Structure 1
């Protein structure tokens, strides 16, 4: 957890009724880094959005989302990532996706979202 993190892990993982969770949330230099695990789909995008709001409260200029443990991502999940990226960019912040699984990258390439997102 980051030194200034105001929320214990139980707050981030409370009421987990879906198949998506945060595995880690830590400081990485000037960036906040999180690792998502599970399915990023229409049933879980609200959880992702809620977590990102909490991370933004920590006033980080750069958020890194590690997708290496995401097992599924549908159009709603991809749309949520794109919307978050645009929101961050509009605020002068950065959102970077790391370790995007091959299946998710294929969907991003088909939809053209890979051109808009910052993928490492």
Structure 2
């Protein structure tokens, strides 16, 4: 059993993607469909809430970076926020620390 969950909600034109547990290669089957669902919603902004994500490996960072880039290519403002120290460290070590907490445009 894999300890990962993803939730999607909207509030005033903003999609909120909430990740919890462990984001790694095994979680891609759960995470990838949500990336497409955000686009289907037609909202201009998305926040990825990372405060309940307690583990993220390089494959997980790659999934988040790919989602970030895909949403940006479709014109969405994107922000990743709430990363705990272990997750923040992996983002920093992989050269993607700049994505955490700073929206791509004004959210």
* The structure with more radius of gyration: 1
Tell me the distance in 2 between the aligned counterparts of 1:109 and 1:118.
9
Gaps of 5+ in 1: 1-16
SS at match of 2:60: helix
Q: 1:19 aligned to 2:3?
A: yes
Tell me the distance in 1 between the aligned counterparts of 2:28 and 2:52.
16
In structure 2, the residue matched to 1:119 is: 101
Shift of 1:91: 1.3
Q: Quick check: 1:85–1:94 contact (8 Å CA) kept in 2?
A: no
The structure 1 segments of at least 4 consecutive aligned residues displaced by more than 6 Å after TM superposition are none
Root-mean-square deviation (Å)? 1.6
In structure 2, the residue matched to 1:72 is: 55
Gaps of 5+ in 2: 103-107
Question: Which structure is richer in relative contact order (CA contacts within 8 A, separation 6 or more)?
Answer: 2
Q: 1:101 aligned to 2:55?
A: no
In structure 2, the residue matched to 1:92 is: 75
Shift of 1:78: 0.1
Q: Quick check: 2:58–2:94 contact (8 Å CA) kept in 1?
A: no
Shift of 1:30: 2.1
